[in-house]
Structure 1
Amino acid sequence: MLAEASTKDISSVAEPENFEESKEVAKQGGNVAKVALNELESKTGKKVVTSLNSKDLILKKTRKIN
């Protein structure tokens, strides 16, 4: 979601006029998200992206609480 929001904001400033310019804006938005992901993972020491889906994560958390 950060990639999409970043791309939208960059696009509104850069105002791309063709597909190639839009593609470059999309790459920049994706890079913002990549940098944020790497920074968060390095600060926390944990992976942000997991193979578990949200349902599995909720079950895992409730089992720890109970």
Structure 2
Amino acid sequence: MSKYDPKHAAFLDSKERKYRLSPEKVISLAELEKKDFVLDLGAGTGFLTFPLSQIVEKGKV
């Protein structure tokens, strides 16, 4: 099992990563609804977690 290393935080939140792996595109593929529940395993810095929380307003992340 790998562990989150704070040394990599800069890359995990970088513009390059957002360009290559757009959170919006990834999340849109899941076709989530406001009432859904989402479990973000290995969330790290919250790259997908925070955008997910905006979509599932009535559900849980």
Larger radius of gyration: 1
What TM-score do the two structures reach when normalised by structure 2? 0.26
More helix by share: 1
TM-score by length of 1: 0.25
